[in-house]
Amino acid sequence: MIILNLNYILNIVITLFLIGVLGLVLNRKNILITLMSIELMLLAINLNFVVFSIYLDDITGYVFVLFILTIAAAESAIGLAILTIYYRLKHTIRIDKIKNIKS
Amino acid sequence: MIVNLFFYFFSFILIVSALMTILSQNSIYSVLFLVLSFVSSSSILFLLECEYISLIFIIIYVGAIAVLFLFVVMMLDVKTVYLAKDSLKYFPFGSFIGIVFLIEIALIIPTTFESANPYNVSFLWNCYFDWFNKLDYFTEVMSIGHLLYTDYIIQFLLSGNILLLATVGPVTLVLIRSTKPTKTQVTFKQLSRTYSSVLHI
C-alpha cells in the first residue's frame, strides 16, 4: 500500500502538463512534436482524474478517463490525417512554413 | 517501502521521458520516448491499484496512438537535420511562461490540500476497509460498467459517434480523389474559330 502524499503525485502531474505546454510553445520545428505534446497534456489530465478518483474513493473519474481516451484517439487520428495531406501538398511539415497555407 | 521506491522511480522516468519527447531532434526517438512515458504512467497507475485503467492506457496509448505516430513518421520520411539555434529562439519566453505556471501551481497545491487531520499525510486516507464489501464485492470493470451504462449513457453514445467521425473523417481526408479534368484549350478547335462563325446576332 502506498503511503504517499497527494501533493507529490499532483506535482508530478502538473509538471507533466507543463512539459506538454512547453512542447507546444518551444517547438517550432514540425507539427508531429506538437501533436505529441498534446498527447502528453491529455495524459496528464487522465492521471489527474485517476489520482483524484482514488483519493476521493469515487469511481466517476474512471468514466471520464475513458471519455478523454476516446477524444485523444480521435484527435490524434484526425490530426495525423491532416498532417499527411499537408505533407502531400507542401512536401514539408515545418511550422514556420505554414503561413503560406492561407488562400 | 518498496512500492514507494517504485513510485519514485516510475515518476522520474515519466518526467525525464516527457522532457526527452519534446527536446529530441529526431522524430522517431521522440515517438519512442512518448511510448516510454505512456508505459511508465501506466505502471504508476498499476501501483495505485487501478488495473483496468492502466491496461486500457497501454492498449489505447501504446497500441493505437503511438503506432499511428510511428506509421506517420515512417511514411513522411522527414529530414531530421535542424539547427538547434532555431529551436532555442523561443526558449526564454516559453520557459518564462512555464516557470510562472509551475510556481503558481506549486504554491497553490500544498496550501489547498492541507487540513487539520493528521492522517491526511497518507494518500489513501479516504479509503477504509468495509468487510461487507470485501466479502461481496464488485470488481472494477463491473462498477465502471454500472456507472457507464446507466448514468452516463448519453455521453457514451456521443463518444461512440465521435469515434465513428474519427474513423470516417481520416479516410475521406486521405483519399486521393480522381481529379476533375482541367480545362485546357483544344488547339484545332480554337484555331478554327472565326469571327463569322462565333457571333450570332
Residue A18 touches chain B, beta carbons under 8 Å: yes
Which residue out of B32, B41, B87 would a mutagenesis test of the A interface target, given it has the greatest number of A Cβ atoms within 10 Å? Answer: B41
Does pLDDT of B42 surpass 70? yes
pLDDT for the residue B55 = 92
- Between B176 and A83, residue with greater pLDDT: A83
For A48, half-sphere exposure in the C-beta direction (CA atoms, 13 angstrom radius) is 15
DSSP character at residue B182: P
* Domain-wise residue ranges, chain A: 30-103
Question: What is the pLDDT, as a whole number, of residue B48?
Answer: 87
Tens of pLDDT, residues B89-100: 777 887 888 889
Residue A4's pLDDT is what?
73
What pLDDT sits at residue A41? 93
CB pairs under 8 A between A and B: 222
Nearest chain B residue to A10 by CA distance is B109
Which residue in chain B is spatially nearest to A18 when comparing CA positions?
B98
pLDDT at B191: 83
User: What does the DSSP 8-state code read for residue B61?
Assistant: I
What ipTM is given for this predicted complex?
0.89
Alpha carbon distance B201, B195 (integer Å): 12
Distance CA B124, CA B130 (A): 14
Share of chain B above pLDDT 90, in %: 27
Return mean pLDDT, chain B: 82
Which chain A residue has its CA at the smallest distance from B156's CA? A67
What are B133-183's pLDDT values in tens digits? 667 777 888 888 988 999 999 999 999 999 999 999 999 888 877 666 667
The three cell numbers of residue B170 are 481520416
**Which pLDDT value is given to residue B125?**
63
Query: How confident is the model over A53-80, as a mean pLDDT?
Result: 91
Query: Can you tell me the distance from the alpha carbon of B185 to that of B83, in angstroms, rounded to the nearest whole number?
Result: 47
At B117, is the pLDDT very low, low, confident or very high (cuts 50, 70, 90)?
low
Nearest 5°: the CA angle A32, A37, A40 is 135
Average pLDDT over residues A32-59: 91
Q: Which position has the grid cell 483519399?
A: B175
A30-103: which CATH number, 3.40.50.720, 1.10.10.10, 1.10.287.3510, 1.25.40.10? 1.10.287.3510
Q: Does B80 contact chain A (CB < 8 Å)?
A: no
What pTM was computed for the model?
Answer: 0.76
